Amino acid sequence: MTDENVLHAIPHRPPFLFVDRIVDQGEGRIVTERTYRADEAFFAGHYPGSPLTPGVLLCEACFQTGAILLMGAAKTGQSPSGTVPMLTRIQDAKFRNAVLPGETCRFEIVLDEKMGNAYLMTGKVTSGAKKVLTVQFIVALIAAEHEGAK
């Protein structure tokens, strides 16, 4: 079940919402969690008989977590209102371990630098004591131009 705070923060919705809850949030950082249920549709094809969470979806959960951080800043006046988050760069993604059905991942995102309307962030993903992924990325806040993006 998705936390209402997540639904209010970003425009993403199931089936393309990969954050269940906000665990902690402070100045320039946020921690979220997602439990990967065995009945998720992507496990049927990735990989049959030996399912694991696609790395691209782990990255997407990082990007959505970063967007939640930025949209929270927009609501407090620290970034422009009337904007939507848009991923503009991915770099240095390093995958260390697989995530299996039933595991809960923790996504810790830190804001490293603000450059105009672009925000450089670093994401770290863990599952229990296991390191899963590190990634750097940039999210820009752009004007919401159509009703579906608001």
Positions marked catalytic: 46
The two structure tokens encoding residue 9: 């923060």
d(CA 135, CA 121): 8
Q: Is 102 helix (H, G, I), strand (E, B) or coil?
A: coil
Identify the burial level of 90 via C-beta atoms within 10 angstroms of its C-beta, where 0-12 means exposed, 13-18 middle and 19 or more buried.
middle
Evaluated on CA atoms 93, 97, 101, 104, the torsion sign reads: negative
- Cα angle 3, 102, 39; round to 5: 80
Cis omega (within 30 of 0) for bond into 15: yes
CB atoms within 10 A of CB 143: 10
d(CA 27, CA 76): 11
